Chain A
Amino acid sequence: MKKILKDIRINKAWCKGCGICVHFCPGKVLEMDENDKANARYPELCICCMMCELRCPDLAIEVISDDESTDEVSS
């Protein structure tokens, strides 16, 4: 079932700006903001792959999509 994005929540207080989420995002959804924190610039391009959430070393991203609880992993 195709997932539909509801929200990409970035906890800016925890984000350390490592850029991992930005670099590996398949949809080029994310970018670094002026404070060197991750930012969801083009949410409409998100394919809800969850990779940013799972690869964030700081537990700073939550991808919320409509068909599931936030912590489900596609595998």
Chain B
Amino acid sequence: MAVRDYIRQRFFPHLWCPGCGHGIVMNGLIRAIDHMAIPKNDIVMVSGIGCSSRITGYVDVHTLHTLHGRALAFAAGVKLSRPELRVIVPMGDGDALSIGGNHFIHAARRNMDITAIVMNNRIYGMTGGQFSPLSGSGTQASTAPFGNIDPAFDVVSLAKAAGAGFVARSTTYHVTEMIDLLKQAISHRGFSVVEILSQCPTYFGKHNGMESAVDMMENFRKNTKSLGKIPEGYSEDKVLRGVFVNENRPEYCQEYERIIASAMKGET
């Protein structure tokens, strides 16, 4: 199918700012779904609140636009109640890891077959440029007028430690890699996390000396490195991209089927 068959065309042009990376993530996600030929009726997309969460309005699948930080909790109900559906949860960095941090680690621990996408622009876009738990110390934001002293999470390490079966990272510059990682994440049987570095030129860029989306994507190009291309003794301070975890762990809904089977037999 063509890209336009996956979107709700009447809402285009969309509301994201010129150059906003969230549009590139949506673009890549649509390609991934299309390559995998998943029927639209089999997909439920659940989002929270934020610029990133607007994505559910645009993609023509079953869409659930929920509360700030709570998307994964709603998604757990959707998935466990109908495990045959594919559940995809795009979130902002504040959405996923600040207000939604508890749901994030528990979703990873449970390992329910849900694909979580962290659209990490390192800022609160929707509310106008306050720092997020991914901004990192030394950055500038509207609520850090003297510079940010809040250290950042490492999404990959966090997801890994919490037990996610699949953990990967890419950027909006590395689009073919992003599509490939999204496909792997969606096919993975378990909780998968794809962190995608995304640009918010309007706030993060403006506050931090990057005037345009192009500058910010150039930054992703220069300051990240693919895991597969790391030479021995590599010590440069670059953000790594690629697949960090890919392991099969017991999937929650399948485990629950076992519970049902023994409960029905009257075993305890």
CB distance from A44 to the nearest CB of B (A): 24
Contact-residue bracket for chain A? 20 to 34
Collect the chain B residues with CB atoms within 8 Å of residue A55's CB.
24, 27, 172-173, 175, 217
> Looking at chain A's contact residues, is the secondary structure mostly helix, strand, loop, or mixed?
loop
Q: List the B side residues contacting A57 at CB < 8 Å.
A: 16, 18-24, 26-27, 172, 213
Interface residues in A5-21 by Cβ distance below 8 A to B read 13-14, 16-20
**Bound Cα distance from A69 to B37, whole angstroms:** 14
Bound CA span A17–B213, Å: 11
**How many chain B residues have a CB neighbour from A under 8 Å?**
34
Q: Is the CB of B176 within 8 A of A74?
A: yes
Whether a CB of chain B sits under 8 angstroms from the CB of A54 is yes
A74 to chain B, nearest CB (A): 7
Contact A54 B217 (CB under 8 A): no
**CB proximity to A under 8 Å, residues B1-53:** 1-4, 7, 12-14, 16-24, 26-28, 31, 34-35
Central interface residue in B2, B23, B201, B212, by most chain A CB within 10 Å? B23
Please name 17 pairs of A and B residues whose Cβ atoms are closer than 8 Å in the assembled complex, sorted by A: A14-B13, A16-B19, A18-B18, A18-B212, A18-B214, A19-B212, A19-B214, A20-B213, A54-B24, A55-B24, A57-B16, A57-B22, A58-B12, A58-B14, A59-B23, A69-B2, A75-B180
Which residues on A are within 8 Å of B, measured CB to CB? Answer: 13-14, 16-20, 23-24, 51, 54-60, 62, 69-71, 73-75
Q: Which residues of B contact A (CB under 8 A)?
A: 1-4, 7, 12-14, 16-24, 26-28, 31, 34-35, 172-173, 175-176, 179-180, 201, 212-214, 217
Closest 5 CB pairs of A and B: A57-B23, A18-B19, A16-B18, A54-B175, A18-B18
